């Protein structure tokens, strides 16, 4: 498998649920990113990891908790989300931070 | 503050009708301007990177150009399969910038046969 793979593709959860989004990159990159994409809004950067270390948290609420166990895997743990958190969550990777970013297909999240 | 504005928000063309998409940017030192294409239900797909005024890149019916204030994505004789949302992003030299990209809101292009 090549590129950036995200699972699941679709997720529906209640406000009290706990779920996790998974991202895996097969490109040998060192940096990984989480973005939120809402309708009619620009992509919002959430977190940046470089060599497994978090280098940026863009004032994201604590109900979103990222985890990067190695340079190939990135998780986003979700708990007690709000309906306004419904969006497309995109993972990306790049050789180094600031280089060309390659995106996964995203997870479409609906919070009921 | 770094800013990226894309126009128009939406564009409808007939097949074969050439046009241009605009990306205006304000950054504290440009370290790269990126164009992406995004199809519905998919993640953005990288198209081009431009680094300095006067640079041009081409791919099939697409040509990207850049000045010190804006970039254009020119679409020549578009086909229905060119229908997508086109995103522009910049990387800047702003203090504290860890290399993150600042995205515009995108232009949604529809090409009718």
| Amino acid B95: pLDDT | 66
CB A64 within 8 A of CB A78: yes
Q: Measured between alpha carbons, how far is B39 from A54 in angstroms, rounded to an integer?
A: 29
Residue B106's pLDDT band (boundaries 50, 70, 90)?
very high
Report the residue from A31, A98, A100 with minimal CB separation from B31.
A98
Report the residue from A31, A99, A106 with minimal CB separation from B43.
A106
Nearest chain B Cα distance for residue A74, angstroms: 16
Q: Measured between alpha carbons, how far is B56 from B33 in angstroms, rounded to an integer?
A: 12
Q: Measured between alpha carbons, how far is B4 from A87 in angstroms, rounded to an integer?
A: 21
Nearest chain A Cα distance for residue B91, angstroms: 7
Residue B92's pLDDT band (boundaries 50, 70, 90)?
confident
The answer to whether A105 contacts B46, with C-beta atoms less than 8 Å apart, is no
For chain B, the straight-line distance linking the first and the last C-alpha, in angstroms and rounded, comes to 41
Residues in chain A closer than 8 A to B41 (CB atoms) = 105-106, 108
Please state whether the peptide bond connecting residue A8 to the residue before it is cis, i.e. omega within 30 degrees of 0: yes
Whether A51 has its CB under 8 Å from any CB of chain B: the answer is no
Q: Measured between alpha carbons, how far is B59 from A17 in angstroms, rounded to an integer?
A: 45
Query: What average pLDDT is seen over chain A?
Result: 93
| Amino acid B45: pLDDT | 96
**Res. B16: pLDDT tops 80:** yes
Mark out chain B residues that contact chain A at CB-CB < 8 A.
4, 31-32, 34, 36, 41-46, 49, 87, 89, 91, 98-106
Q: B67-78: per-residue pLDDT in tens?
A: 999 999 999 999
| Amino acid A1: pLDDT | 54
CA nearest B40 in A: which residue? A105
Q: A91-105: per-residue pLDDT in tens?
A: 999 998 878 999 999
Better-scored residue on pLDDT, A99 or B13: B13
* DSSP collapsed to 3 states, B41-97: CCCCEEEEEECCCCCEEEECCEEEEECCCEEEEEECCCCHHHCEEEEEEEEECCCCC
Contacts by A70-73 with C-beta closer than 8 Å and gap 24+? A71/A29, A71/A30, A71/A32, A72/A24, A72/A25, A72/A26, A73/A22, A73/A23, A73/A24
The answer to whether B32 contacts A103, with C-beta atoms less than 8 Å apart, is no
Residue B55's pLDDT band (boundaries 50, 70, 90)?
very high
Q: A54-67: per-residue pLDDT in tens?
A: 888 888 999 999 99
Q: Measured between alpha carbons, how far is B23 from B21 in angstroms, rounded to an integer?
A: 7
Residue A87's pLDDT band (boundaries 50, 70, 90)?
very high
The answer to whether B106 contacts A55, with C-beta atoms less than 8 Å apart, is no
């Amino acid at each position: 498998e090549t590129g950036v793979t995200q699972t699941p593709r679709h997720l529906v959860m209640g406000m009290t649920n706990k779920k996790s989004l998974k991202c895996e990159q097969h490109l040998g990159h060192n940096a990984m990113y989480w973005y939120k994409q809402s309708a009619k809004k620009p992509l919002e950067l959430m977190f940046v990891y470089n060599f497994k270390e978090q280098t940026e948290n863009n004032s994201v609420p604590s109900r979103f908790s990222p985890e990067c166990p190695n340079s190939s895997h990135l998780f986003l743990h979700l708990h007690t989300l709000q309906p306004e958190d419904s969006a497309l969550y995109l993972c990306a990777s790049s050789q180094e931070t600031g280089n060309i970013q390659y995106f996964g297909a995203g997870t479409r999240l609906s919070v009921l | 503050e770094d800013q990226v504005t894309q126009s128009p928000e939406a564009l409808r063309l007939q097949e074969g009708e050439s046009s241009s998409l605009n990306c205006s940017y304000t950054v504290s030192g440009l370290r790269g301007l990126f164009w992406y294409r995004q199809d519905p239900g998919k993640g953005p797909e990288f198209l081009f990177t431009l680094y300095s005024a006067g640079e041009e890149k081409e791919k099939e019916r697409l040509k990207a150009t850049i000045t010190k204030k804006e970039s254009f994505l020119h679409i020549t004789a578009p086909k229905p399969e060119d229908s997508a949302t086109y995103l522009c992003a910049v990387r800047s030299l702003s203090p504290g910038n860890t290399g993150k990209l600042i995205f515009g809101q995108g232009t949604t292009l529809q090409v009718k046969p």
